């Protein structure tokens, strides 16, 4: 087994209201920043042992499917790196 760090980034799907991002976008604009759009996201870093990077990615995706993301309103991305 090898130690890996899986990063799961969970975002609201396009079209789903994101009040946190909207409030932050308005505040940034009041501070003089010009932006086209802003989205909020949650990021989870998971340390785990797996046979290979593909197995680690599959386990992290299963975690996202079962708990970390709501498939009705969220999309997610998984990336895996060997832990240092």
Please write down the long-range contacts of 15-19, taking CB distance under 8 Å and 24 or more positions apart. Answer: 16/73
pLDDT of 84: 75
pLDDT of 8: 98
3-state secondary structure the chain: CEEEEEEEEEEECCCCCCHHHHHHHHHHHHCCCCCCCCCCEEEEEEEEEECCHHHHHHHHHHHHHHHHCCCCCEEEEEEEEECC
Short-list 21, 41, 19, CA closest to 29: 21
pLDDT of 1: 84
Domains along the chain with CATH numbers? 2-82 (3.30.1280.10)
C-beta separation of 79 from 36 below 8 A: no
Stated pTM of the model: 0.89
Going residue by residue through the chain (84 aa), what tens digit of pLDDT does each one get?
899 999 999 999 999 999 999 999 999 999 999 999 999 999 999 999 999 999 999 999 999 999 999 999 999 999 999 987
């Amino acid at each position: 087994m090898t130690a890996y760090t899986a990063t799961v980034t969970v975002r609201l799907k396009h079209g789903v209201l994101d009040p946190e991002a909207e409030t932050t976008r308005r505040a940034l604009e009041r501070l003089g920043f010009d932006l086209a759009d802003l989205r909020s996201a949650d990021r989870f870093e998971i340390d785990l042992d797996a046979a290979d990077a593909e197995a680690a990615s599959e386990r992290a995706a299963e975690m996202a499917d079962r708990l970390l993301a709501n498939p009705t309103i969220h999309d997610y991305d998984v990336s895996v790196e060997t832990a240092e």
